[in-house]
Structure 1
């Protein structure tokens, strides 16, 4: 058995201390502390003329059938994609989707989490609130998620690649802002 005998030998702490001084790292400059490595996209600024209308209606889920099916069977995927864009890349799609899925699986009340993102989305793009965000998500969760997904997609986001890749594509000039104009009406009927 190994024993220290400090009292009989006279313990001298200076033998065990190193004269190395550790300096604290210099604080990062303010511009280096960011929630995302990319700036906010300039292609979709909020309008200045009051609240804007949503680009599609709440019940137009079949306008994007593939997203409608994904949202019906696995809403955590759609929610994760929406949250990644709305949070501007500060939280990965997978972690938001997982949190949503766990809330849905264990409590059935994932709508309380997703309604917060609807509010954030409306604030970012100055969208009108026809009904309470929580009420919309509580009563029509799938429709609300589909509408939010379509809104971001109609604003030029490629929802499958996330925030950072969308901003990178915009920087390189791959994405051009959509031109919002009057809807195109099909040709006249002919006999």
Structure 2
């Protein structure tokens, strides 16, 4: 007999970023995309949040207003400590690392919300009545 259980992983309750700003090498796919094709990572991150990446066409300035809004929004959505001033400084001086951190955070938080399936094999126990021999196993 096999029983399948679906278990929801607990959400991160930490009010800190799951990775540090310069932990880019924790996820090489995000790191390479952020380093060599920043607009691609930006668009992918917006899509991960169900936002339209066409907004990048309207983006101008340093720090990028869309990048700043994205970082602030992710921080607020997940209850991460910080300030608008800190977001602005990070987006201005560490643009690629900041985008990588935001992308990693979204990825890790979404991974934690995914249900995991656990398969449990249960062997039925043989029950023997008192005073009677056990039933043959070939029936």
TM class, shorter-length: 0.5 to 0.7
Name the larger-Rg structure.
1
State the secondary structure of the residue aligned to 2:92: helix
Of residues 153, 168, 176, the one that matches 2:115 is: 176
- Cα offset, 1:96, TM superposition: 3.7
1:142 correspondence with 2:99: no
Return structure 1 stretches of 4+ with deviation > 4 angstroms.
Answer: 43-47, 97-100
Greater RCO between the two (CA within 8 Å, min separation 6)?
2
Asked if 2 retains the 8 angstrom alpha-carbon contact of 1:115 and 1:134, the reply is yes
TM (norm. structure 1) is 0.47
Partner of 2:133: none
- How many residues are aligned here? 107
TM (norm. structure 2) is 0.63
CA change 1:98–1:46 in 2 (3 A) is farther
Q: Structure 1: any 5+ residue segments left out of the alignment?
A: 1-42, 158-169, 178-191
1:74 correspondence with 2:49: no
- Cα offset, 1:46, TM superposition: 7.9
State the secondary structure of the residue aligned to 2:27: helix
Of residues 17, 23, 40, the one that matches 1:54 is: 17
- The alignment yields a C-alpha RMSD, in angstroms, of 2.8
Q: Structure 2: any 5+ residue segments left out of the alignment?
A: 1-8, 117-139
Asked if 1 retains the 8 angstrom alpha-carbon contact of 2:63 and 2:88, the reply is no
State the secondary structure of the residue aligned to 1:132: helix
